[in-house]
């Protein structure tokens, strides 16, 4: 938390990508011509600076695009939709990378960002590999367990203003359709998104022969240490 680009000696390009509904999405791009690219998505509530340590670890071998999800950081938007519109936003980021010549694209997402990555990859063949750390399997389930009033309010607001149920499709349903390499990371001690979410996702991914389930026995939500080498090796193997 509180990291800056200078802390990691990264030279970044400020990026602005228009979402389908006109919201401006902000990002930092670490260029590496002709290399595969990895998009990094933060959790809730946070911003792209939280992912600078991972960006620094990947930058020697990959182009890296750190995105602020809508409503967070420097991105526009009046509210988060907890994955519903964010999955399309990620597809816009992938299209931006394609336009820059990066046709091999992977995504890493933490928590909400991991759920967004799973949702988007199920519908977008341009995403070739996904690493998700502590994603929720089903927003309705998470609402009943932990964030009840917040999820209920967001769902009702979306039904009124978007005419859509933002809890569907669920990441667990998207995962069942994925046949690309997936690295699923979860801690048994996660107090915000229980380990059973990872177990539900693992079961949904059961038909996919390219799944690596990395279980952490210790660590609260987001506390995993030294993920960078595993993420680097995963994307090196699959991009």
Q: Cα–Cα distance between 160 and 132 in angstroms, integer? A: 31
CATH code for the domain of 183? 3.40.50.1820
Q: Cα–Cα distance between 215 and 234 in angstroms, integer? A: 15
pLDDT digits (tens, 9 = 90+) for 27-80: 999 999 999 999 999 999 999 999 999 999 999 999 999 999 999 999 999 999
pLDDT digits (tens, 9 = 90+) for 13-23: 999 999 999 99
Say whether 201 sits in a helix, a strand or coil: helix
Beta-sheet pairing, 182-187 with 127-133:
parallel
Q: Cα–Cα distance between 31 and 22 in angstroms, integer? A: 25
The number of folded domains in the chain is 1
pLDDT digits (tens, 9 = 90+) for 150-200: 888 889 999 998 899 999 999 999 999 999 999 999 999 999 999 999 999
Domain holding 175, by residue range, is 5-238
Contact yes or no for 15/28 (Cβ under 8 A): yes
How much is the pLDDT for 4? 58
pLDDT digits (tens, 9 = 90+) for 82-107: 999 999 999 999 999 999 999 999 99
């Amino acid at each position: 938390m509180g990291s800056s680009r200078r802390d990691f000696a990264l030279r970044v390009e400020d990026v602005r990508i228009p979402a389908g509904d006109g919201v401006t999405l902000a990002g930092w791009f670490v260029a590496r011509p002709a290399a595969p690219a990895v998009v990094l998505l933060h959790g809730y509530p946070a911003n792209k600076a939280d992912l600078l340590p991972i960006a620094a670890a990947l930058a020697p071998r990959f182009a890296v695009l750190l995105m602020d999800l809508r409503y967070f950081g420097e991105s526009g938007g009046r509210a988060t939709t907890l994955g519903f519109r964010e999955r399309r936003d990620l597809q816009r980021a992938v299209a931006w990378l394609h336009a820059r010549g990066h046709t091999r694209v992977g995504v890493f997402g933490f928590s909400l960002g991991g759920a967004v990555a799973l949702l988007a990859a199920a519908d977008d063949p341009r995403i070739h590999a996904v690493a998700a750390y502590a994603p929720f399997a089903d927003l309705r389930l998470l609402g009943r367990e932990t964030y009840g009033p917040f999820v209920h309010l967001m769902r009702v607001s979306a039904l009124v203003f978007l005419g859509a149920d933002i809890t569907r499709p669920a990441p667990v349903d998207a995962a069942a359709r994925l046949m690309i390499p997936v690295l699923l990371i979860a801690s048994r001690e996660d107090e915000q998104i229980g380990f059973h979410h990872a177990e539900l996702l693992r079961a949904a991914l059961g038909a996919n022969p390219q799944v690596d389930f990395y279980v952490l026995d210790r660590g609260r939500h987001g506390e995993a240490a030294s993920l960078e080498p595993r993420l680097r090796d995963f994307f090196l193997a699959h991009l």
